Structure 1
Amino acid sequence: MQIGTGVEAAIAALQAGKLPLAEQLCSQARQKNPFDATVVDVLAMVQLEKGDGKAALATIKNVLSLDRSRTLYHTHHGIILKALGRLEDARKAYEEALALDPEAPDTLFNLALLCQDTGDLKESLTLCLRVIKLDPGNAAAFNNLGTTHQHLGQFEEAATAYRTAIALNPGHIGAYCNLAAALAEGDQIKDSLTVCEEALEKWPGHSEILNAQSNAHVKAQNWDSALAASEESISNAPEFAQAHYGKSLILLTQAKLEQAWPEFEWRVRRPNFWPKRHYGFPIWDGGPLTKKTLLVHWEQGFGDIIQFCRYLPLIKSLDSPPAKLLFDCPDKLIPLFTDWDCLDAIADFGDTPPEVDYFIPLMSLPGRLGTTLETIPADTPYLVNPLSDYFEVPPLAQTTLKVGIVWASDHGASYRRKVCPIAEIANLFDMEHIAFYGLQFGEDARELDAYTARENVHSLANDLGGFDHTAAIIEQMDVVLSIDTYIVHLAGAMDIPAWVMLPYAPDWRWFLGRRDTPWYPGSRLFRQQAPGDWASVIDTIRPELEVLVAQNR
């Protein structure tokens, strides 16, 4: 199909970011031929770039009504659906495109991006490799490959892919930022900062590079430098949500909660904030809620939800509490809230909750309620085992202390930083009178099989089941020894002592230097003294377990 001059000019304007001009050119071209699907397709992408996803969707459907034979149109349909958060529908659109051309690089590229968003990282990796084989000179494809490796915790492979992207396109700012991030995650802080310095020489004051520089300093615990880079990034790009969010994490880690909460609100503006809710009612600003209905919606991971659900009862204790409090909660967690009288309704409502007046993301509640370090609500337990007769943990011979162990996490890019090799924990298995129960979930649970021949080591991986089942098992433990994952939050919320093994640069909620945590008074923190140094963590834990054994005998 020959594309007319007007359409070519519209495409050029779109690529240059001149959206009003592109829209005007599309309108002129449609006046000449209203049935030209190519023109309408360009208009759909212009509308998407303008932020009008609903109009773009209506327009691309018009395109497909005119011509369903082109791979490009189905691919654009998928891109628009993905932007609207309709990920399954987006996948179907990409699959329709690939049915027309199984080797279409752009379609495979966008499907790989979708797989990243849905957590299908192995499929994303396979797709990325197909794309670079079909189009080995595509810098964006290598950048996408690097991102997938990074999500898989494969930082060396990610860095290699990013370097290739930069070699193909030295002006690819995103690849520089991603390279710096991958190197920092792989504990190559000096190399990460060098990349940032080189990039800042090419693009002085660039906000994304400064944000990457800040993140590298965070990994090295250079807090003053991290904050300075973050603030410079914000100064140069005041609407850059990721820099604001990064600044909030720096302040939170330093326990400067009052300063941090306003910056923390920027997290919802980030492209990767999850879940994206599309409501037609306003966010609660902290004002009176008398005779109103408030919806609190879940966000981020299971551990975050378990940690911050403690704020829900406090809403009903406000001076002007809501008439009704609704909690949008993942189905898997709902059994934990069976007896929560403060909730008038709980369900995984998605984008279609009952009629309400206001909503608020769960992790915004500490800021709305003015939480300081001294006022963190720490009354535990606030979750209890909802099952009375699910499962009895089998006793192990000649043991008096039950210790549940978790050594791995499935949190993507932070995986390697969080994971404590089972071989390190196994150094504790020679301790007398202690029964070690594997509470590990997922594929990593199999790693304990090498040790279960010992009389004092037993895997409960097949018994964990749902969250209510896991709670029933945790309740029977004397201590839960775990890396930073949802298990420690569930144990802490149930007032079961959780001993948390933390990496050198821990998540913000554990603050700095403390061996206790105000979130869970019965829990303790064991910190790495250098990146990757789990051996010293285990060495610190051993004598503490000996004390517990002596107390239990």
Structure 2
Amino acid sequence: MTASQFAPQAQQAFAAAAQAYRDGRMDDAAQGFATAALLEPGWNSAHANLGAVLRRQGKAEAAVACYRRALSLGPEDAGTLSNMGNALRDLGQLEEGEKAHRRAVALAPDSINYRYNLALLLRDRRLHAEARAMLAELAATEPDNAEIQWDLALADLYLGDYQRGFAGYEWRTKLARNPVRDHKGPRWSGDDPVGRTILLLSEQGFGDALQFARYVPLLAARGAKVVLECLPEQAELFAGLDGVVALVTKGSPPPAHDCWAPLASLPHLLDTRFDAIPAQVPYLSAPPRPNLRLVPPPGQKLAIGLVWAGKTTPRDRSWPLEELVPLLADPRATFYSLQLGPRAGDLRLTGLDRLVRDAAPVLKSFADTAHVMESLDLIITIDTSVAHLAGALGRPVWVLLRYVSDWRWQDEPLTSPWYPTMRLFRQPTPMDFKTPVAEMAAALASLIDAPFPDAPITDERH
């Protein structure tokens, strides 16, 4: 049926909703499409468009319901199938999402968007070779498409092809969501740095800065004088990094320099290979904090730091705190919360503030957290900057990883080539929060009962 066959009131609501969507007024768009669908329940486009708005608002479950309604009216609509596949991917329902995307591609094989959406879901399904091949075809078709080139680079990194992957990683500077900073002067191209002052620009988040800071001493060892820009929260910590001749906080005018490069470009510029990752730890150390110390309670055998929540975008890497209760079974292990931000309140909401000591109120900077970590026997965290900080300090750290994890952790290893003191615990399926915690609880029990608990906490399995 065409739009003109529906009731005028429904058509008006639909048109108003479409305009609201174009204007970015999502609440009005949702209301209008919902009204059109209510007045004309047989209008599949009203249901499908409502689903698109709801997904954009972060309401993936409701979006899937709308897409199912639309597909019950028009089951062979490729656009709705692809959109539903995206929403199912948001929810971690990857197998059903793959079916929807494959059907969309079968119906419209020439659509670059549908093939691109399928490739991203295949990557989440850990079908990296197929995803990479599809992304390579798309990149050849649209060589100037930064989004596709970026995802192709991530596919290479997942597969351990670091030379090609980090070369493609440079496409991040052309992404609309990551605009290039306007910095004057020549950009360092990776040529001989001897005697040159190189400004390294802060570019990404805390975790990336901690991970890639390892390259600063390497660049200095090649004869460069390194000026490091960083976020204010990390300034004191990075001030002690070997090879830094000057430190500048982001937004402040830098000292004189000969050339510059983004910090995250160093893996590419220094030709990092998967089998030769510079992983000597520690490369960071905790500044002194004479008045900041943990007082162990009687009977403590292990002191353990705990973090369970991080950023929720582009993917949620958090863990429900209540699912971590099995780790708290032995009173000889004292847990200290290092969790910052709104989710720190989970302790009180769950009642676990009676079992976990909250260290967060004294953690005002990364230097504070680093100092506390030096007093801990183990750090347990999800994929967040705390994991990178513990690894950079050479502290024993166990990381809980969601099924869809970042390229730097890959999909299968139990250890990380980036951090020798790190052990990884992975979800076997997207919504299984219990299995990795059970594995971690068993490992923790063995550790507490070990005769020498201060031995390095690593895992020799590969």
User: TM bucket by the smaller chain?
Assistant: 0.7 to 0.9
The one-letter code of the counterpart of 2:215 is Y
More displaced stretch, 131-140 vs 458-467: 131-140
Q: CA deviation at 1:401?
A: 0.3
Separation of aligned partners in 1, 2:137 and 2:96: 21
Q: Which residue of 1 aligns with 2:183?
A: 279
Separation of aligned partners in 1, 2:372 and 2:310: 19
The one-letter code of the counterpart of 2:374 is E
Residues 524/359 of structure 1: CA separation in 2 closer, same or farther (3 Å cut): same
Q: CA deviation at 1:345?
A: 2.6
CA contact under 8 A between 1:247 and 1:263: conserved in structure 2?
yes
Residues 364/159 of structure 1: CA separation in 2 closer, same or farther (3 Å cut): farther
Q: Give the number of aligned pairs.
A: 425
Spell out, residue by residue over 1:482-521, the C-alpha distance to the aligned partner (whole angstroms, 9 max, x if none). 1111111111111111101112222111123211112111
CA contact under 8 A between 1:278 and 1:351: conserved in structure 2?
no
The one-letter code of the counterpart of 1:448 is L
Does residue 329 of structure 2 align to residue 420 of structure 1? no
The one-letter code of the counterpart of 1:183 is L
Match of 1:482, SS state, is: strand
Separation of aligned partners in 2, 1:355 and 1:195: 55
Equivalent position to 1:250, from 148, 151, 155: 155
Match of 2:301, SS state, is: strand
Gaps of 5+ in 1: 1-103, 113-126
Separation of aligned partners in 2, 1:340 and 1:453: 35
Equivalent position to 1:295, from 199, 206, 214: 199
Spell out, residue by residue over 1:279-302, the C-alpha distance to the aligned partner (whole angstroms, 9 max, x if none). 233432211234433221122221
CA contact under 8 A between 1:336 and 1:385: conserved in structure 2?
yes
Separation of aligned partners in 2, 1:329 and 1:366: 17
Q: Which residue of 2 aligns with 1:123?
A: none
Residues 207/484 of structure 1: CA separation in 2 closer, same or farther (3 Å cut): same
Separation of aligned partners in 2, 1:472 and 1:111: 49
Match of 2:214, SS state, is: helix
More displaced stretch, 309-318 vs 263-272: 263-272
The one-letter code of the counterpart of 1:369 is L
Separation of aligned partners in 2, 1:290 and 1:262: 23
CA contact under 8 A between 1:437 and 1:459: conserved in structure 2?
yes
Superposition map of 1:344-493 within 5 A: 344-350=245-251, 353-415=254-316, 418-449=317-348, 450-452=350-352, 454=354, 456-493=355-392
Separation of aligned partners in 2, 1:510 and 1:301: 17
Q: Which residue of 1 aligns with 2:119?
A: 214
Q: Which residue of 2 aligns with 1:128?
A: 26
The one-letter code of the counterpart of 1:300 is Q
Does residue 127 of structure 2 align to residue 229 of structure 1? no
Q: Which residue of 1 aligns with 2:41?
A: none
Residues 288/470 of structure 1: CA separation in 2 closer, same or farther (3 Å cut): same
Match of 2:434, SS state, is: helix
Separation of aligned partners in 2, 1:175 and 1:354: 54
Spell out, residue by residue over 1:311-357, the C-alpha distance to the aligned partner (whole angstroms, 9 max, x if none). 11111122xx33x4222211111111122352233223449645544
Equivalent position to 1:515, from 392, 414, 421: 414
TM-score, normalised via structure 2 length: 0.81
CA contact under 8 A between 1:279 and 1:351: conserved in structure 2?
no
CA contact under 8 A between 2:33 and 2:49: conserved in structure 1?
no
Residues 174/342 of structure 1: CA separation in 2 closer, same or farther (3 Å cut): farther
Residues 430/270 of structure 1: CA separation in 2 closer, same or farther (3 Å cut): same
Match of 1:412, SS state, is: coil
Separation of aligned partners in 2, 1:436 and 1:349: 34
Separation of aligned partners in 1, 2:265 and 2:49: 35
Separation of aligned partners in 1, 2:62 and 2:410: 31
More displaced stretch, 484-493 vs 140-149: 140-149
The one-letter code of the counterpart of 1:287 is D
Separation of aligned partners in 1, 2:124 and 2:242: 42
Q: CA deviation at 1:131?
A: 5.1
Residues 435/296 of structure 1: CA separation in 2 closer, same or farther (3 Å cut): same
Gaps of 5+ in 2: 1-15, 37-45, 455-462
State, as a whole percentage, how many aligned pairs show the same letter.
30
Structure possessing the higher relative contact order (Cα contacts under 8 Å, 6 or more residues apart): 2
CA contact under 8 A between 2:207 and 2:385: conserved in structure 1?
yes
Separation of aligned partners in 2, 1:351 and 1:459: 34
More displaced stretch, 236-245 vs 134-143: 134-143
CA contact under 8 A between 2:199 and 2:257: conserved in structure 1?
yes
Separation of aligned partners in 2, 1:351 and 1:159: 46
Q: Which residue of 2 aligns with 1:335?
A: 236
Q: CA deviation at 1:394?
A: 3.5
The one-letter code of the counterpart of 2:365 is G
